[in-house]
Structure formats: structure tokens, C-alpha cells
Structure 1
């Protein structure tokens, strides 16, 4: 064999190795992407997720952080969808309620629920008893709402109490997407100042995206010093703080459950 032939063989071997390595890398990326895009939820069967952190936000509101199977796992919840959570009430009977995480699929490795617990709420009892290390049974995704980035020019959102969680999820997804230029106008109503959920997070979004996100708080029993709305959400408030009706405008509101316990869907 002459030197030229050996060099040719060496080049062919190197090219073959490079192609094989590239195929392995591409396959791994595809497998990772497929696994990540699939998510951890099952729409037909309940799966259990471990509670790793519980943070009390007020006397009847807590933030629950649940661990996903791996640090790179995504829950697999489309924007505007919710999950069904299963637990037991004070009588030991099974209860299932829908909830919307405040996290997105970009928050890998975990998901969070902000829960307002009512004295007579059946699922509220389950969350009151939930401790770090316990597991929560979850099924999903569920819901009629679908959102595609850029499908409208602006969103008007009207929420009350714990109904803020689906609104917050969608607002975050819109604002944090650099390719989405949709504006968001939120009217958020509560009884007292202490009842306002996710206020720090909402104010942070308003400060970070001043030209695209506006939030107007309404209280039925406001403190002495208050510059927001007072009473119930009125026609005048909606006209002032929501975008005017147009083909490229969508206004959404939260639907209260009959028991007044958190567990909702929301409707455009």
C-alpha cells in the first residue's frame, strides 16, 4: 500500500466516525426533545408528584412546589390549560378539583400551585393536610382554552380571587415570549388587600413590561389609602381598563365554581 492510499483510508475512516458520532448526537437531541415535549402529564390516568416545598403566603393561602421526575422534565401543560388534582375531604371521601399551576413548561424540574384554602372546602382540607414529602395525584392537561402566540393584538382579562392563577399563567407565557407582541390588560378583584394573590409577581410583570402589561386592582373593602378600584367590577371599569372590542381583541373572564372553592375553568 502506498502513502496516498493509506491517507485515503484514514480520511474515509474519520469521515465514517464523524458521521456515526453526528447520528448519535442527533438521535440523542431528538430523544431529549421528544421526551421534553411530551411532558409528565397523562390525560387519562392520575400520576403522583412529590411535594418538596410548602410556603405559607397568608393565613389561608399557600404555595405548593412539586417535584418532576428529573431536573429537565417539563410538566407538559399547554398555555391556558389546567390539571385535575385528586385528594380526600375531611370525611375521607375522594374529591377531584381543577387547578392551574402558576409555573410554565419553561420552569423545568418542578411545578407550583398557589392554593386558597376555604374553611368548608373539600379539596381545601386535602391541601391543608398536605406536608412536604407527601404526594399529590394529578391528571391532565384539561380545558377548552387554547392560545397561539400572536393570535390577537391584546387580551383583556377579568379575574376574581383564586381565579387569577389561569390569567397569570397565560400573561406570563405571553410576556416572556420574545416573539409574542400581544398586550395584556388585567382587572383583578378581591374583597380585601390581604386577599390579593400573586400581587408581588403581578407588580413585577407590570414593572418589567410597562408598555405591554397593565393590572388594575379592585377591592370591595379597600384600606384607607387606596388608589385602585372600589366595589365590584363595573361596566365603566371594563371600558377604562380593558381594550375596546375589535376582531383582534379577546376578553376572558374566570368562571367561579358553585362551591366558591378554588377549582375553575376560564372562558373567552
Structure 2
């Protein structure tokens, strides 16, 4: 009887260890899946993203490429939403301004902002001073508009100046989705 008792205890211990290991694996998968589906943004708190590339497109427009935490990370910005960027103006005062990335969540590992810098623009000063290796402080997603594929038959857009980036984001999402048959019409001023 003592041998049977010990064998049943060994089986109970093995079952307990197996159940605990399974619980750990399930928890890890859930945590990974919930983190992955959420993206890198936080709507309540500002987060820092490192500038890895700056490309001057014209005398007052540049494309800024920011690194996400891992090569497989994505921003987590619904189509039609924007982010709030925080920086300092020429007087050292804090400025917060909305921007729409030109990248989509299908662009993993990074996001890009195309910024027109105005001579007297408070946030423009911050972007003019931003160098590769510096960090941009971002919060989001923000906004109430969210584009849903196939929601409308045609999407008409009128944009000018810096307003082109939100339209670019929506148009790109439509054109890159083979299942989305929405017609896009863009008038740029």
C-alpha cells in the first residue's frame, strides 16, 4: 500500500506540474496576443519613439522615420485617426500638435511622419531641431473618424497643405486592400 500511495502522489505531482505549465503557456500566449493586437500607442500616456532617419523632401518638408520597439511591432493607429506629438518651441515651451502618419499598421517596425515646417510654427521648431537618435514623444490614437473598408461606394477628398497626410493614409489603405472596392477621388489644393 505504501508503494501505491507513493505512485499516486507522483502522478498527482506530475499532473499539477503539467497543469501549471499549461497555465503559464496559455497566459503567455494571451499576453502576447493582446499586446500584439493593441499596437505600440497608448491613448492615455505619452511614449517615446527614436528617430532613425530624416529625409529632406523640399526646403520646408521632411520625412521622419521613427523606430518601434521591435521589428515586428506596429503602431496601432486605426485608419483615419491621428497621434499627438509633444515637443518644445523656440522659447522652450511645451507644444502638443496632432499629426497623421503616412504609414499603416502593415508597415511593421517603424512609422513615418511627413512634416511641413513653417518659419513661425511652434512645433515646426521642434521638428527642425530633431536629429537622428533623438526621441519624439507621442500619444494616441486620437480622433473619431475610422475608415472601414467597403463602408461607402466612393470616397471624395479635398485637401491642401498639411491636410494631405490624413487623406494619403486613407487612400493608401483603400488602394492596398484588394478586397476594398471603394473608389477614391482626391483634389489637392
TM range (shorter): 0.7 to 0.9
Q: TM-score scaled by structure 1? A: 0.59
Deviations 1:69-121 (A, max 9, x none): 01111111000000000000000111000000000011011000000000000
Cα deviation code 1:166-220 (max 9, x no counterpart): 00001111111122111101xxxxxxxxxxxxxxxxxxxxxxxxxxxxxxxxxxx
Question: CA separation of 1:117/1:38 partners in 2, compared to 1, >3 Å: closer, same or farther?
Answer: same
Q: Secondary structure at the match of 1:6?
A: helix
* Cα distance in 2 between the residues matched to 1:17 and 1:150: 49
Return the offset for 1:33: 3.2
Question: How many residues in Structure 1 have an aligned counterpart in Structure 2?
Answer: 185
1:128-163 per-residue CA deviation (whole Å, 9 max, x = no partner) reads: 000000001000110121211111001000000111
Q: 1:73 to 1:2 in 2, by over 3 A?
A: same
SS in structure 2 at match of 1:72: coil
Cα distance change, pair 152–12 in 1 and its aligned pair in 2 (3 A) = farther
- For 1:93 and 1:4, the matched residues in 2 are separated by 76
Partner-residue secondary structure (3-state), 1:156: strand
Q: What TM-score do the two structures reach when normalised by structure 2?
A: 0.83
Pick closer, same or farther for the CA change 1:55–1:28 going to 2, 3 Å. Answer: same
Question: Matched residue of 1:138: which SS?
Answer: strand
List runs of 5+ in structure 1 lacking aligned partners: 186-268
In structure 2, do the counterparts of structure 1 residues 32 and 11 end up closer, same or farther at CA, with 3 Å as the change threshold?
same
Paired with 1:106 and 1:14, the residues of 2 have a C-alpha distance of 43
What runs of 5+ residues in structure 2 fail to find an aligned partner?
Answer: none
| Separation in 2, partners of 1:179, 1:118 | 39
Runs of 4+ in 1 over 6 A off after TM superposition: 1-28
Moved more, 145-154 or 60-69: 145-154
Q: Return closer, same or farther for 1:107/1:24 CA change in 2, 3 Å cut-off.
A: farther
Moved more, 171-180 or 100-109: 171-180
Superimposed CA distance per residue, residues 227-248 of structure 1 (whole angstroms, 9 cap, x where no aligned partner): xxxxxxxxxxxxxxxxxxxxxx
